[in-house]
Amino acid sequence: MNKRIDNRMDRRMDRARAKPPASILRVCRSLLLCAGMVASASVFAKADLESQVQHVSEQLRCLVCQNQSIADSHAQLAQDLRREARQQLSTGRTEREVIDFMVQRYGDFVLYQPPFDPRTWLLWLGPFALLLAGLSALVVQSRKLEQSLEMENLAIAEES
């Protein structure tokens, strides 16, 4: 009787040690492969989204700092704008649509390179106009100084 029980136990142990059927192994491998592909696709999609957010953020000016892009700024508004850009890009909007949304909301000043149109002529031409005005004032002032020196020289010459 003990021998029978031992034989049964041995058979059960042998079955437990036996390899699972090949079909189960194939199913397990397929599931693992699919899980890996989904995980890697998710990683690539997230990396692509972050790349798009970075590209958009580099084109937009921080309205608080004014000399930094929202990618470089640590201001709360810049963080909010980056979050908004990320949210819109994740819903399927293009980079151009996100930038247009920001321009519509904050105006052309939010762009690092605003368009050259009648609304932004002052922005583009203003520095040159100021430079020209400064040079003109310098020329006028030097001529006045030259004329006053000539008048002094004439007055000194008449006295002599």
Domain shared by 26 and 59, yes or no: yes
Domain shared by 135 and 76, yes or no: no
Domain shared by 103 and 53, yes or no: yes
Encode pLDDT of 65-76 as tens digits: 878 889 888 889
Domain shared by 149 and 108, yes or no: no
Give the number of domains in the chain.
2
- Within the chain, residue ranges assigned H as helices are 2-17, 22-59, 76-90, 95-106, 121-159
What's the CA angle centered on 44, arms 39 and 48, to 5 degrees? 150
Mean pLDDT of 113-136: 86
CA 147 – CA 110 distance, rounded (Å): 49
Domain shared by 61 and 132, yes or no: no
Inform me whether the pLDDT recorded for 42 exceeds 70: no
Domain that holds residue 143: 115-160
Ramachandran region, residue 73 (left: φ > 0; alpha: ψ -120 to 50; beta: rest) = beta
Domain shared by 136 and 99, yes or no: no
Q: Please give the model's pTM, rounded to 2 decimal places.
A: 0.52
Domain shared by 87 and 15, yes or no: yes
| Lowest mean pLDDT across 35-39, 49-53, 57-61, 108-112 | 35-39
pLDDT classification of 108: cutoffs 50, 70, 90: confident
